[in-house]
Structure formats: C-alpha cells, structure tokens
C-alpha cells in the first residue's frame, strides 16, 4: 500500500515555488516531461498547484512553439550543462532542445481529474500554447510531412543513454569547446549514470545546435544524429489525440481539422516502425531500423489501438520470464542490457504508467495490472526512487523523485 501522504510530501518538498524539480540537487531545474507527470500527480490532491506546474513550464515556451527540455527558473551549480553552456538569452533562460511531448495528455488528465477550481479558465488560457507546440513539432521536426518527427539529441528522447542510440552516437565527435564538469556523478554512483564519452558527445551536439543559431532547419541539416524515435512519435500521436479532444471545447473547428490532419499522417507512419515483430526506432541518416528492443517499443499501445497488440503482449510476457520486475527499459536478452545503468535496463515508473495505459486500452487488462502492480510494489518496498533494478528491485539514482511520487498517486488512485 502506497503512503499517499508520503508521495504528496515528495512533491511538496521538491516544489520551488510554482515549479517542481525532479529531485533535490541532482536535477535542480524544471524539466519538460517530468513536469507533465508531476502535474497529473498534483491533480490528485491539489488542482490549482497542478495548473501552476503546467503554466510555469509554458513560461519557457519559445515564440515559435518550442517547449524546451529544461527551464532554468533559478540559478544552481548542481547541474551540468547549465544555462551558460546553452547560451540562450531569454527570460526565463532555457535549453534549446525538447523532450517527449506529454503535456497535452497531462493537461487533459488534469482537466478531467479536477473540472472545478477554475480549471476551465486555466485550460482555455494555455490552449494557444499547447496548439503552437504541436505546430512546432510538425513544422520543425517533420518539415516534409512524413508523419514521423525527428529527434536530434538523445536527451530529447527522455531515454538518454539507451543502447538504441549507441550506433548513432558513434558518429558524433567527442570534441567540445566547453569543459565538461559533470555534477551528476557527485550525487549518484557513476555506475548508474551515462559514461564520460557519452557526455562528450551530448555536449558536442549542444554546441553543434548553438552554431546553427538554434534555427530548426539549420539544426536538422547540421546534426550528425537524426533518429525517428518510436517513443517520441508514439507519445506525440497520443498527445495529438488528446489535443483533438481538447480542441472540441477550447479550439476552433479549423484547429480541430488541422490536428486531425496530422493524426491521419502520423498513425500510418508510426506503423512503418514495426520491424521484425516489434516497434523499432529508425536511424534517419542510414535509413535502417535500429535493432535494439526497448521499453519505448511498447508505447505505440499508449498512442491508441495497435494492430500488433497481441505480439507486443507476448513479448512483454517473454521479458517477464527473464526479470523479476516489469518493465525493463531494454530487452533483457540484449547484450547491452545493464540492470543498474540509466535507461539501459532499469524500470521507470513513468514508462510503466504509459505502457499499462496502452495495454488496458488495447484489451490486455491482466497484463496492465501486472505492470501497475510491479510499479507500486517497487515503490512501496524501495521508496520514490528515480528508477529500479528489474532483477532485484533495488531503488537507483535520485531518491525522493517527483515523477515516481506522481505515478504512485496516479496508480494508487485507480485501485
């Protein structure tokens, strides 16, 4: 049984006055998709604070509709790269890349969870920003209208150092202008974190985009890493469907038609990522499918009905036979599976929530309950950890993690 007051206490403790940090010191700013999940968690007990989380994130939205990965509301020396490395002069300062677009889904969830407390007016006020962000995705990351958006940095996928990005990252030079002064390994065991060479490539990409002036077309042209991430595309398709539902109340008929047009392109395009019995990301430079099965490959279930739901359920059952706890972030049979290292094997509560939602929406209620049950059991036994070892259940990474507490509240509320 989850201690709801303890979960609420994590969110309150990580509140920095209208925005929530993922956890103290390790991540001292506001992160894009973290805040989407945090808002849904707050909505279970404090609707006004849930809306404040979304509004705070949207204060970082750029004029072109980009919602950045990080909003630097207040200074801190506990994280690298900070705002000076990004070099973006705006108020508030931000990073120049994005993260998986969960926000429209979160806004709809908050509205439906807490229809009172001024929610209608607050949703109406943020509608133009949500609309503009989805237009940004189409314009900046799918300018040819293929139906699949491009990811330019592993941080944009949210699954930073997944084995799925290894081959693409090998093309990225390790040279950087900025001295790399990592802070994460001072807070967390380095064995749990990305390698030093990964950070060199991460920062090289940041500098590449800065040299392009943060212009979307220039970034697409210059980036040595371009992938169609199955997770990002599935999450965006789900968000478009949630945005379309919101448009019936807050948008215009023309806006709803515009959104439905994007959905009509995206849904069949997502199916082109089905390769060899699983949804795989695609390297857009080589044109080849990336032959690494990760938890992101189950997220097309979250996007809506999938013609491959039975095969995905069978794969998940097979993974369950190789680990104690679902859902590992990498196929346990893959040679690069690492149960303790960031995104290379551990269980993440937020991904489990999306997978369980998708399983239930595709008629696999029992398997959805298994995923939800594993998530709650891990949290109950090991606390609100950033992630968990799928073989032992050990809590890993940052402690008292905001989105883990938010997911605990969301899942406990469904019991």
User: Where in the sequence numbering do the catalytic residues fall?
Assistant: 160, 386
For the chain, report the end-to-end CA distance as a whole number of angstroms.
Answer: 10
Tell me the per-residue pLDDT of 317-342, one tens digit each, with 9 for 90 and over.
999 999 999 999 999 999 999 999 99
Across the range 119-124, mean pLDDT stands at 96
DSSP state of 198: H
User: Distance between CA atoms of 116 and 375, rounded to whole angstroms?
Assistant: 30
Tell me what pLDDT residue 25 has: 81
Across the range 300-304, mean pLDDT stands at 98
Burial of 366 (0-12, 13-18, 19+ CB in 10 A): exposed
Regarding beta strands 395-396 and 387-388, do their DSSP bridges make them parallel or antiparallel, or are they unpaired? antiparallel
Q: Is the pLDDT of residue 176 over 70?
A: yes
Mean pLDDT computed over every residue of the chain: 95
* Cβ contact 338:292 at 8 Å: no
User: Distance between CA atoms of 373 and 395, rounded to whole angstroms?
Assistant: 16
pTM for this structure? Answer: 0.97
Classify 315 as helix, strand or coil: helix
User: Distance between CA atoms of 354 and 194, rounded to whole angstroms?
Assistant: 24
Bigger pLDDT: 190 vs 159: 159
Tell me what pLDDT residue 26 has: 84
Q: Is the pLDDT of residue 302 over 60?
A: yes
Tell me the per-residue pLDDT of 18-48, one tens digit each, with 9 for 90 and over.
999 999 888 899 999 999 999 999 999 999 9
* Cβ contact 296:231 at 8 Å: yes
DSSP 258-295: HHHHHHHHHHHHHHTTEETTEE--EETTT--B----BG
CA-closest candidate to residue 355, choices 378, 326, 380: 326
Residue 66 tokens, joined:
């980009």
Bigger pLDDT: 309 vs 24: 309
Residue 46 tokens, joined:
């404090």
* Cβ contact 103:67 at 8 Å: yes
Across the range 152-174, mean pLDDT stands at 97
Q: Is the pLDDT of residue 13 over 70?
A: yes
* Cβ contact 98:110 at 8 Å: no
């Amino acid at each position: 049984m989850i201690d709801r007051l303890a979960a609420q206490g994590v969110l309150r403790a990580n509140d920095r006055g209208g925005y929530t940090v993922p956890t103290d010191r390790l991540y001292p700013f506001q992160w894009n998709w973290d805040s989407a999940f945090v808002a849904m968690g707050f909505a279970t007990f404090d609707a006004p604070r849930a809306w404040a989380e979304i509004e705070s994130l949207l204060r970082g939205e750029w004029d072109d509709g980009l919602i950045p990965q990080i909003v630097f509301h207040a200074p801190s020396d506990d994280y690298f790269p900070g705002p000076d490395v990004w070099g973006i002069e705006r108020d508030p300062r931000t990073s120049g890349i994005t993260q998986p677009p969960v926000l429209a889904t979160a806004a709809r969830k908050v509205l439906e969870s807490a229809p009172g407390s001024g929610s209608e007016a607050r949703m109406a006020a943020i509608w133009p920003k949500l609309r503009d962000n989805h237009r940004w995705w189409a314009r900046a990351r799918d300018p040819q209208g293929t139906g699949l958006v491009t990811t330019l940095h592993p941080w944009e996928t949210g699954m930073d150092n997944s084995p799925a990005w290894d081959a693409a990252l090998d093309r990225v030079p390790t040279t950087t202008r900025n001295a790399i002064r990592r802070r994460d390994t001072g807070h967390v065991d380095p064995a749990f974190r990305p390698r030093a060479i990964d950070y060199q490539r991460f920062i090289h990409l940041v500098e590449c985009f800065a040299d392009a002036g943060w212009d979307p077309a220039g970034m697409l042209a210059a980036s040595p890493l371009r992938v169609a991430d199955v997770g990002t595309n599935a999450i965006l398709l789900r968000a478009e469907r949630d945005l379309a539902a919101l448009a019936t109340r807050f948008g215009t008929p023309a806006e709803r038609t515009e959104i439905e047009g994007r959905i009509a392109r995206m849904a069949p395009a997502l199916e082109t990522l089905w390769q060899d019995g699983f949804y795989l990301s695609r390297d857009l430079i080589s044109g080849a499918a990336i032959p690494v099965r990760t938890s992101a490959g189950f997220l097309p279930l979250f996007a809506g009905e999938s013609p491959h739901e039975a095969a995905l359920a069978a794969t998940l059952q097979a993974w369950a036979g190789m680990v104690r706890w679902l859902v590992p972030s990498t196929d346990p049979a893959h040679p690069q599976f690492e149960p303790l290292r960031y995104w290379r094997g551990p269980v993440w509560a937020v991904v489990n929530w999306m997978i369980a939602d998708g399983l239930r929406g595709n008629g696999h209620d029992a398997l959805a309950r298994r995923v939800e049950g594993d998530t709650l059991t891990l949290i109950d036994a090991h606390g609100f950890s950033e992630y968990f070892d799928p073989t032992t259940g050990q809590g890993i990474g940052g402690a008292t993690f905001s989105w883990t507490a938010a997911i605990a509240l969301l899942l406990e509320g469904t019991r």
